Amino acid sequence: MPFVSNQGLRWYEFDLFQGEKGLIHGVFTRQGGISPEPWDGLNMATSVGDSRDRVIENRRRILNAMGLQDRGFFDVWQVHGRDVLLAERPRMDGEGHQKADGMVTQQDHLALLMLFADCVPVILFDPVRNVVGMAHAGWQGTVKKVPAAAVEQMEHRFGSRPENLLAGIGPSICPGHYQVGSEVIEHVAQAFGDDSLLTNRQDGKGHLDLWEANRRTLLECGLSEYHIQVSGICTLENPVDWYSHRGEGGNTGRFGAVAAIRQGL
Ligand SMILES: [Zn+2]
């Protein structure tokens, strides 16, 4: 059962992480929040025109649903880069966001939060060292290999070994719906050395497989293919559950991917 419902909210959990008592995680659908159209309803972003108060209430609902109501989120200003931050405490109300597209933590019950609407959420868990990481990979983060930067931070800061890591590649735009132009195609060819990630090539355009690209990056890092799960859920095809930047013409909200470590088991 990949979907879980609680208190009117509905979220996706990776089968790969079931039974991992040290990890709390979920990729939240848009159901159960209070935001009106075009952000209806569980919008996580204040940068898209929705009111701050509504986003705060939506965020509170996620913490409640996950049993993290006494804790806060660590979130960042996502800029399609490769920087990965160490999260040590929740971001306080009114405190500015640092720019980054990845984060890692070993802090007990500190909820990492990243925002998505077609870009790829990658959740990384080390059950040996009890470390969690997350990355945000649109096409830019994908060609910059931001998931690899998150793996590197887990290795350097916590002694994680790639072969122990589990990775979930979450709901995001599928290859069939993700047509890109020549500039993107060039970057993909440079980053991955061939163009097998691109299909339906014509007139300088092609369809990019973000899921396989990020899976390949994780394999290059040394993760086992048996330790990587691709959800295979397309955000553009499921507007009841997900926000889609492309599907909704840029006028939409952002859903939240959340992950926290449960220490001391
Ligand atoms: Zn699709």
Q: pLDDT per residue over 232-245, tens digit each?
A: 999 999 999 999 99
How far is the C-alpha of 104 from the C-alpha of 125, rounded, in Å? 10
pLDDT tens-digit map of 49-87: 999 999 999 999 999 999 998 888 999 999 999 999 999
How far is the C-alpha of 158 from the C-alpha of 240, rounded, in Å? 39
Return mean pLDDT, the chain. 96
8 alpha carbon – ligand 1 mean position (Å): 26
pLDDT at 85: 98
pLDDT tens-digit map of 101-156: 999 999 999 999 999 999 999 999 999 999 999 999 999 999 999 999 999 999 99
List all residues 6 or more positions away from 209 whose beta carbon is below 8 Å from its beta carbon: 175, 178, 197, 198, 199
262 alpha carbon – ligand 1 mean position (Å): 34
pLDDT at 83: 98
List all residues 6 or more positions away from 93 whose beta carbon is below 8 Å from its beta carbon: none
How far is the C-alpha of 223 from the C-alpha of 217, rounded, in Å? 9
Three-class secondary structure of residue 247 per DSSP: coil
Region 31-51: what's the mean pLDDT? 96
pTM of the model: 0.97
Where does the pLDDT of residue 162 fall: very low under 50, low under 70, confident under 90, or very high at 90 and above? very high
Return phi, psi of residue 46, to 5°: -90, -10
Token pair of 128 as six digits: 């040996």
Residue 127: DSSP 8-state? T
Question: Does the pLDDT at position 264 exceed 90?
Answer: no
Nearest C-alpha neighbor of 100 from the set 34, 131, 146: 146
pLDDT at 265: 64
238 alpha carbon – ligand 1 mean position (Å): 8
Amino acid code (one letter) for 125: F
179 alpha carbon – ligand 1 mean position (Å): 11
- Beta bridge partners of residue 102, listed in sequence order: 84, 135
What residues have a C-beta under 5 A from ligand 1, the ion? Answer: 174, 177, 234, 236-237
28 alpha carbon – ligand 1 mean position (Å): 18
244 alpha carbon – ligand 1 mean position (Å): 10
Q: Is the peptide bond before 2 cis (omega within 30 degrees of 0)?
A: no
Nearest C-alpha neighbor of 242 from the set 231, 56, 166: 231
113 alpha carbon – ligand 1 mean position (Å): 24
pLDDT at 144: 98
Under 8 Å between Cβ of 213 and 188:
yes
pLDDT at 147: 98
pLDDT at 92: 85
177 alpha carbon – ligand 1 mean position (Å): 5
20 alpha carbon – ligand 1 mean position (Å): 30
Q: What is the CATH number of domain 3-261?
A: 3.60.140.10
pLDDT tens-digit map of 178-223: 999 999 999 999 999 988 999 999 999 999 999 999 999 999 999 9
Residue 265, Cβ neighbours under 10 Å: how many? 6
Q: Would you list the DSSP string of 160-174?
A: --GGG-EEEE-SB--
